[in-house]
Structure 1
């Protein structure tokens, strides 16, 4: 049986995630954590040119048991009263490499939102309502696109800010249209409120730890997903 030579579409929110995901067998897009921009990017994708869709990046933790760096392989994505199940076959391709690196991998649901959930109370409310493991801003949009196109969908997300930690507001608004961090805006925010420095340091530490875990995932993302194109 011949393998499908078409690439998999990798949907990311930040430029750091997009750079990690890039490789053979993958077409990568970055939303800059902007749902409107992501939908516009997806509207330009020819769904017949890809063989599946994967949401790839960091996420906010909803399950208090999940530490920073934990990999969540989605069983489903829920948002706005809709549920999109993850493809068992595509998820299995990712799960097959889960023994690579030292990261912890769990199966669980994701909640999709249109705005960043910063506070612990907001995370707890989502956990109570949906019982999901993590929350992000891209997976529900990617899942909807895949469903409408009749394509398999999977999501691999690494917990950055755990359920017990709140994000400083400046960390959620200082994103440039290209998905990079607006350092100038961060510095201006610090100048207005120096007390935010400690929270930013903690957030940055968590984010870097999550990116390291995401980089571990890249090795099996390439070996399992990129394999089809390489061998075709």
Structure 2
């Protein structure tokens, strides 16, 4: 079998589509590249536009939605590269449970992963104080800015939902201003903005260097874990509901990624 994964940019959302319809929700370009593969369509978008992008993707068919990528640590024992499989996501007064069968599959595939509830936030949780407060208030172990949005959409459409994240910044790590800048439309870092931030506040360079090392650790963990999860990112419903249609991008004709099996 030959699977071709296409990549194109449509109104700021990177979509990578193949045959089956597990939708992986990400916000970083590196997360999207790692998540893509057989049985997976990837949405890479910022939280403010994520719901509308998900709704559009669901119209093409979906057998599951998974929040995949990196997360900030809230539980003190978690460090960069540790895997968290969400049993549910909490956001303010909301709690959305993950599909139990899918979560078990993820736990079986990822040795050492932690099964626990995670938090969804509308903004960055950047300081040790804020992380500790959120952990104490919610008893969640990790936080990201996409899972709660994806969970709401999945619940609205009665689609199985999962959370699979690896830690980048531990609970005892403050994020420097340069690490909190907005991403570009394609989910990559705005290098010029980072350099300007460093020029204004060079004292943050050591902290940013530590985050860069932890980002590398998290990225490598994502790659290893993605290989273990296999087609469909461990979704147990792919064979039952996935359409046998190859999605072709509307604007580009050349495949950016391809996989042979």
Moved over 6 A (4+): none
What is residue 88 of structure 2 aligned with on the other side?
Answer: 76
Q: Following superposition of structure 1 onto structure 2, how do residues 105-116 of structure 1 map, counting pairs within 5 Å? A: 105-116=113-124
Considering only aligned residues, what root-mean-square deviation do their CA atoms show, in Å? 1.8
Q: What 5-or-longer segments of structure 1 have no aligned partner?
A: none
- Which one of 79, 93, 108 corresponds to residue 67 of structure 1? 79
Deviation for aligned residue 1:40:
2.4
Q: Distance in 1 between matches of 2:85 and 2:174?
A: 23
Q: Distance in 2 between matches of 1:53 and 1:42?
A: 9
What is residue 24 of structure 1 aligned with on the other side?
Answer: 38
Q: Following superposition of structure 1 onto structure 2, how do residues 92-171 of structure 1 map, counting pairs within 5 Å? A: 92-99=104-111, 104-171=112-179
1:172 aligns to 2:184 (yes or no) = no
Instruction: Choose between structure 1 and 2: higher strand proportion.
Output: 2
What is residue 225 of structure 1 aligned with on the other side?
Answer: 234
Instruction: Choose between structure 1 and 2: higher helix proportion.
Output: 1
Deviation for aligned residue 1:80:
2.2
Q: Following superposition of structure 1 onto structure 2, how do residues 194-205 of structure 1 map, counting pairs within 5 Å? A: 194-205=202-213
Q: TM-score, normalised by structure 2?
A: 0.80
Q: Distance in 2 between matches of 1:206 and 1:93?
A: 27
- How many residues are paired up? 221
- Kept in 1, the 8 Å contact 2:107–2:115? The answer is no
Q: What 5-or-longer segments of structure 2 have no aligned partner?
A: 1-18, 245-261
Deviation for aligned residue 1:173:
1.0
Deviation for aligned residue 1:221:
2.4
